[in-house]
Chain A
């Protein structure tokens, strides 16, 4: 089986993302995944508590197919030399391996990227953005992964 990371990288269609790298966070099942999520966020924010806002995550409320869920992330930033978003990290706290992808940006690029992600079960997807001044922002969205059927 091919690694899902390779496919994710291939699918990353970031309009302004200079580089998109899959995160290699290691985690065991369940609780360990939550701990790994918190750990990864802390490392990314360099210990700062992210503030809600500026970064926006667009995901369907219910996934049509958990294996390939369309996701768009954008950041409200001027993208000038003095003020721009450096990096956005995406984590899925219910996946066996919560690290999903990380987008790197440079000034004068468009602070938006989209890709497709894989979600093992109903869970929160978290986006954390780090600006060039070190300030950090986050957004979270719950995505439901269902067995399907029975609607009508």
Chain B
């Protein structure tokens, strides 16, 4: 710990442009907590945005994607800029802490230098500091994907996260993976949450009546601030509908406009959309719905150091896994935003001190499971990460496990965006496996599948990712495949993007009429049978001792 902190403070100066909001010291890599928090205050309202932490209480490693393609009008625009191009765009020096936090460039070496990011106890420290400085001007908003996807969150049905978040006192939240806890559990939590769970776009499926509060009005710094919640519009499609059979979602753009108009009529000086739409959907929405001042966007896990402006609307994207908080100060007068300043605050866990109360709470939650979670199942030769449009080495490992342990020819693994990173040569712990697989519908199925059906599945998911109209994108990255190679032309229309499907075992083309044995997990269908995926992956790692996953073979065209 100490040596890393020393390193962080000693590293050589780098002359470079620095994005607004960061001090020169930051660019020179002498990181201190004060530098990370430094912010020249502005105006009378401060928004603090946290989103997509996926139940990670402790600091994690999370490699940002190297492939994140934009299609249609989003082509070449942020957040579809990665790696070197991202560094150039924002003037971030290579090898700097920010380069490590925001891109996959030189990731392994920088991860060893700069360490883990996030941790709810560090986030608590940052919030404490902002609240101490800004008092009753602060509105802290949670964009959702908070209650699920770690071992303890799965075991406690989200209670660990609910209890820890209660210590942070958010003013409102919205959701997505929360709904995979099922209707009854979500209702139970929301009833005792202590802050509104907002979702203007969630309705009773039968009568179309609102299932959740749409908008909450707050008074901050003398201004009336309306926060409208937008849950992930495609929850019942991307995740099991049978778990929430009575709730219907959708973008419901006209209803967003209706909520904005109502908020303005009720005297809102500032209108904030707390959204789990995903970045491209929110960019389109911001251009079509009039009167939103700020969209706090989530779901697609993009971390952007500057606000993106669409007309008079600011889009704020605050990353994932607890790596960042965004602070936005706004000067709100006479019902309008006169000025703003924002900063994506990177949560370097070796630089920001943990808040004692939260650290104690997290320790108490984890203590009974700590030994099990730390159990080393094996080691990895290469870097294990998940994020990226087409493949991630962590998914390659899961596919290898499915092929071997379930004796299948073809493996399918969902294109989730969450999941932590393991460095080369490191042990793989049980917790690492849970961090990649902890869901409420984990059955690793095994089933016959025709070549035609396989192509249909790939085409369907490809259109959910690469439809030129973001409103028709369902979210998630491309489904990962093992045992099969294929080519994809992202620019082609639905149904014609996938070609050259080849079964790797034989080297022969996949035939439409032939039936293959496929294994996968995270089926959205009720009654899916099979062992939980974490047991399959753990058994595979234990049997292999050291893993070196087979790289996915996907040829990408039209990008």
Binding site for B on A (CB under 8 A): 58, 60-62, 64-65, 70, 122, 142, 144, 146-152
Contact = CB atoms under 8 A, between A and B. Distances in A.
B248 A146 contact: no
A151 B457 contact: no
Q: By DSSP majority rule, is chain A's interface helix, strand, loop, or mixed?
A: loop
B472 A151 contact: no
Nearest to A56: B254
Given A60-B250, A146-B474, A152 B418 contact: yes
Contacts of A151: 232, 234, 237-239, 414-415, 464, 474-476
B471 interface: yes
Contact of B471 (A61, A64, A146, A149): A61
B479 interface: yes
12 contacts: A61-B472, A62-B234, A64-B236, A70-B208, A146-B464, A147-B460, A149-B238, A149-B524, A150-B416, A150-B464, A151-B464, A152-B418
Contact of A144 (B177, B239, B472, B479): B472
A60 B205 CA distance: 13
8 tightest A-B CB contacts, nearest first: A151-B238, A151-B476, A152-B416, A149-B524, A150-B414, A151-B475, A60-B250, A61-B471
B466 to A, nearest CB: 13
B254 A58 contact: yes
A9 B249 CA distance: 24
A148 B441 CA distance: 14
A64 B232 CA distance: 13
A148 B238 contact: yes
Contacts of A64: 236-237, 241, 248-250
B375 interface: no
Interface in B449-481: 456-457, 460-461, 463-464, 467, 469, 471-472, 474-476, 479
Q: By DSSP majority rule, is chain B's interface helix, strand, loop, or mixed?
A: loop
Contacts of B464: 146, 150-151
Interface in B333-363: none
A70 B203 CA distance: 12
Contact of A62 (B237, B417, B457, B461): B237
Assign chain B's interface to a size class: 35 or more
A146 B467 CA distance: 12
Contact of A152 (B236, B238, B460): B238
A152 B237 contact: no
A152 B476 CA distance: 5
Given A122-B494, A146-B463, A152-B417, 10 more contacts: A61-B251, A64-B241, A70-B208, A146-B237, A149-B524, A150-B464, A151-B238, A151-B239, A151-B476, A152-B176
B372 to A, nearest CB: 25
Nearest to B522: A149
A62 B522 CA distance: 20
Nearest to A122: B494
A147 B248 contact: no
B496 interface: no
Interface of B: 176-177, 208, 232, 234, 236-239, 241, 248-251, 254, 414-418, 456-457, 460-461, 463-464, 467, 469, 471-472, 474-476, 479, 494, 522-524
Contacts of B251: 60-61
Contacts of A61: 250-251, 469, 471-472
A7 B522 CA distance: 33
Nearest to B301: A152
Contacts of B176: 152
Q: B232, B237, B476, B524: which has the most chain A beta carbons within 10 Å?
A: B237
Contacts of A142: 472
A150 B522 contact: yes
A122 B467 CA distance: 13
Nearest to B464: A146
Contacts of B248: 64, 70
B461 A150 contact: yes
Contacts of B416: 150, 152
Contact of B414 (A60, A147, A152): A152
A10 to B, nearest CB: 14
Contacts of B467: 144
A70 B209 CA distance: 13
A69 to B, nearest CB: 10
Given A62-B472, A64-B236, A146 B417 contact: no
B270 to A, nearest CB: 29
Contacts of A149: 237-238, 414, 461, 522-524
Nearest to A143: B472
B300 to A, nearest CB: 11
Contacts of A150: 238, 414-416, 461, 464, 476, 479, 522
A111 B393 CA distance: 56
A60 B176 CA distance: 18
B400 to A, nearest CB: 19
Given A64-B236, A64-B249, A148 B472 contact: no
B522 to A, nearest CB: 7
A144 B237 CA distance: 11
B451 to A, nearest CB: 16
Contacts of B239: 151-152
A60 B250 CA distance: 6
